[in-house]
Chains A and B, each alone.
Chain A
Amino acid sequence: MELRSYIIRRLLLLIPVLFGVTIFIFGITMLFSPIERATLYVSDPRQMMDLQSVIEEYGLNDPFWVQYGTWVGQVFRGNLGWSKVVSMPVGEAIFHYLPATLELAIFATPLIILTGIFLGTKAAAHKDKPVDHATRVLAILGWSLPSFWLGLILIMVFYGYIRGFLPPGRLSIAMDGVVNSAEFIRYTRINTLDAILNLNGRVLLDALRHVVLPVITISVINVAFIMRLMRSSMLESLGKGYILTARAKGLQEKVVVNKHARRNALIPVITVSGYLFAALAGGAVITESIFSFKGIGWWAWQAASRLDISSVLGFALFTGVLFVIVNLVVDILYTRVDPRVRLGGGVQ
C-alpha cells in the first residue's frame, strides 16, 4: 500500500477512538449534579452564592449531547478549556509540562531498551545457566516492586543518607534562577538539553542530579519487561533453521548469537519500544509525583484527583494522538527492519 494513503487511513481511525474516550470521560462527569459541577468552575468564593448563574452560563443543565457538542465545538476552534489545577489554558499546560516528561523519557527509553536487549540476549544465550536464573529473578523482582515504594527508598538513601546528593524536583533553587535569567535561552524547556545548548556546565550537572533517581525508578520495572521479551524472542530465533545452518558453517558462537539470531529477535522489541516511549511520554504519574518532577503525568494526576474535567479531557486527546502517531511510526519502521512485512498487513 502506498505510504501516504496508509498514513491517512490510520489517522482517520484515530477519530472514533478520540470521540469514544472523551464521551466516556464526559459521561463520568455527568454522575454529578449540575450544582456540584458548577462548583468546579468557581474560582472566587463569592460566586458560590450564585451557583445558579454559573449553571446557566456554562449550560450545565443542558442534555448530555448538547454539553458534549459545545465542548467539541470549542476544541475545533482550538480552545481546550481552562486547567483549574494549574491556572492556565489546557493547551498551554500541555506544552508547559510536556518537556519535563520528555526529559525523563529521553533518558529512560534508551537505557531501558539497551539494558533489556543486553540482558535478554545473555539470558537466552545461556539458557538455564546461572546468568539466566539471575536475570529471571531480577525481572520478577523488578515488576513486583511498587514503584512508589522504590522511589521513597531511593530518596531515603540518596537524599537522606547521602545528604542532598540526588535531590527531588527538577532544579535546585540557585540553578532555577540561572535558567530563568535573561542570559539563559530556553530552547526546549528540557533542562539538560538547554544547558548543553547554552554551554552551561553547572546547570547541566544540577539538572542531571535531579534526573537520575526518577529515571532509575522508571527503568527498573520496564527493563524487566524488555529483558523477558528479548529473551523469549531470542530463544525462538535461536531455534530457527538458519541458526543451524550458521552453526553448521562453523561460525563462531558469538557471531551466530549477535549477528544471526539477535537481528531477527529484535523485531518484537522494536514494537514494544515504540509503545514504551509513548507510555513514558504520556507521563509517569507515580514517579513524577514522588520526585516532584512536575511533568504531564503530575498534571494529569492533579487534574484527575481534583476532577478538573477540561484538563482530563485535554490530556485524553493528547495521549490518544500520541499513541496513534507512535504506533504509526513503529509500523512504518517495521517495514524497514523486516522487509517481509508490508504496510496494511500481510506478508509477501
Chain B
Amino acid sequence: MTDWKFIARQLVKNPLSLAGIVLITLFVIIAIFAPLIAPTPEGQGNPYLIPREGYGATPQPPREDYPFGTTQGQYDIFYGCIWGTRSAFQIALVVIAIVVLIGIALGSLAGYFGGILDEVIMRITDVFLAFPALILAMAIVAALGPSLRSVMIALCAVWWPSYARLIRGDILQIREEDYVEASRGLGASSRRVIIRHVLPNAIYPTLIMASLDIGAVVLSAAALSFLGLGAPEGYADWGQMTQFARNWIVGPIGDPFRYWYAVIIPGMFILFFVLGWNLLGDAFRDIFDPKLARR
C-alpha cells in the first residue's frame, strides 16, 4: 500500500506527469459527458454517427452551432471530436484488455513450462514481429472489411506478441524464486503455482505498462483510419476526421490557411490524448527503473 502512496506522490510532484494526469482526466470527462457537451440531434439513432449540415465538399469555418466548423462532407467537427473521444477509449480499452489476456495466457504457458511449448509460442511471436505491424494490420482490416471492430481485431493481432514475450520473461525470472520452489515442494499443482504465486508477481508491472500503451494504441488506430482502413465514413473517429482534411491542407492563393480548422483541430485531439498517456508513462518508467532511480 505504501508503494502506491509513494508512486502517487512522485507522480503529482513531477510537473510533467501532473500535466499528463490533467490531460487524461480531461478526456475522461469529455468521454463521460459527451451527450451533454455535444447532444445528439433528435431522431438520430446511433450517437456515434456525426451529424452533417448538407453534403457540400468544401469545409466551412467555425460559426454558430458549429464551434469548430464543418469538414469535407459538412460533418460537424466539434461533434466528431467529442464523440471521437469515446471511440478512442473504446478502441484502447478493448485492445489492451484482449492483448493482456492473450499475453498472460501464452506468456505464462511458454515461460512456466518451457521446452517445446515455449519454442513453438516464441517462434510464432517471431513471425508476427518480423513483419511491419502497420502493413499487417492494414491487410487484416482490408480482409475483414473496414469497421471499428476490424481495427480492434487487427491491432490485437499485431500487439499480443510483445506482451506474450514480456510476460514470459517475467515468469522465467519468478519461476526460479525460492517461494515458487517451496510451493512446488509442498506438492502444489502447476495450475495452482501459476495462478497463486507466479502470475500475481509478474502481472503488476505488465498491467501498468499496458495501461500506458493506451496512447500508442489510439495513435495506431488513428493512423489506420487516416489511411482509409478504419471506421466507416461519418463515424466519430479522430483519424478519419484528419483524413477528411487531407484534400484541404492548402487554401487558395492569398489565403493558404483557409481550412486550418479542418486540419488542426482533430489532430490536436489525437496529440493531446496520446501526450497525456505518454507523459504519465515516462514518469512511471522513471519510478520503476531502479537502475536510474539510484542516481
Interface size on A, residues (CB 8 A): 54
Q: Is the interface of A mostly helix, strand, loop or mixed?
A: helix
In the bound complex, CA of A137 to CA of B14 (Å): 12
Check A146 against B270 for contact (C-beta < 8 Å).
Answer: yes
Check B139 against A304 for contact (C-beta < 8 Å).
Answer: yes
Check A20 against B267 for contact (C-beta < 8 Å).
Answer: no
Using A25-B139, A160-B256, A286-B226 as known contacts, say yes or no to A20 and B127 having CB atoms under 8 A apart. Answer: yes
Residue interface mask B116-140, A partner, CB < 8 A = 1 = 0000000110111011101110111
Within 8 A of B (CB), among A156-208: 156, 159-161, 163
Is A28 located at the chain interface by the 8 A CB criterion? yes
In the bound complex, CA of A300 to CA of B219 (Å): 20
A264 to chain B, nearest CB (A): 15
A36 to chain B, nearest CB (A): 10
Using A29-B143, A144-B215, A235-B295 as known contacts, say yes or no to A283 and B132 having CB atoms under 8 A apart. Answer: yes
Check A312 against B139 for contact (C-beta < 8 Å).
Answer: yes
Binds A, one of B50-58, B199-207, B244-252: B244-252
Check A31 against B144 for contact (C-beta < 8 Å).
Answer: yes
- Chain B residues with CB under 8 Å of A289's CB are 227
Is B142 located at the chain interface by the 8 A CB criterion? yes
B interface with A by C-beta (< 8 Å): 16, 123-124, 126-128, 130-132, 134-136, 138-140, 142-144, 215, 219, 222-223, 226-229, 242, 245-246, 249-251, 253, 256-257, 260, 263-264, 267, 270-271, 274-275, 278-279, 282, 289, 291-292, 294-295
Q: Given A148-B226, A305-B228, 13 more contacts at CB 8 Å?
A: A20-B126, A24-B128, A144-B271, A146-B271, A148-B222, A156-B263, A159-B250, A163-B256, A236-B292, A304-B138, A305-B227, A319-B132, A320-B131
5 A-B residue contacts at CB 8 Å? A146-B226, A152-B246, A153-B267, A305-B138, A306-B142
Interchain CB contact (< 8 A) of B223 among A146, A283, A319, A323? A146
- Chain A residues with CB under 8 Å of B139's CB are 25, 28, 304, 307, 312
Is A34 located at the chain interface by the 8 A CB criterion? no
Q: Is the interface of B mostly helix, strand, loop or mixed?
A: helix
Using A140-B16, A161-B256 as known contacts, say yes or no to A307 and B263 having CB atoms under 8 A apart. Answer: no
Is A260 located at the chain interface by the 8 A CB criterion? no
Check B250 against A307 for contact (C-beta < 8 Å).
Answer: no
Is A241 located at the chain interface by the 8 A CB criterion? no
Using A146-B242, A160-B249 as known contacts, say yes or no to A17 and B229 having CB atoms under 8 A apart. Answer: no
Interchain CB contact (< 8 A) of A156 among B130, B226, B256, B294? B256
Check B124 against A160 for contact (C-beta < 8 Å).
Answer: no
- Chain A residues with CB under 8 Å of B291's CB are 236
- Chain A residues with CB under 8 Å of B229's CB are 304-305
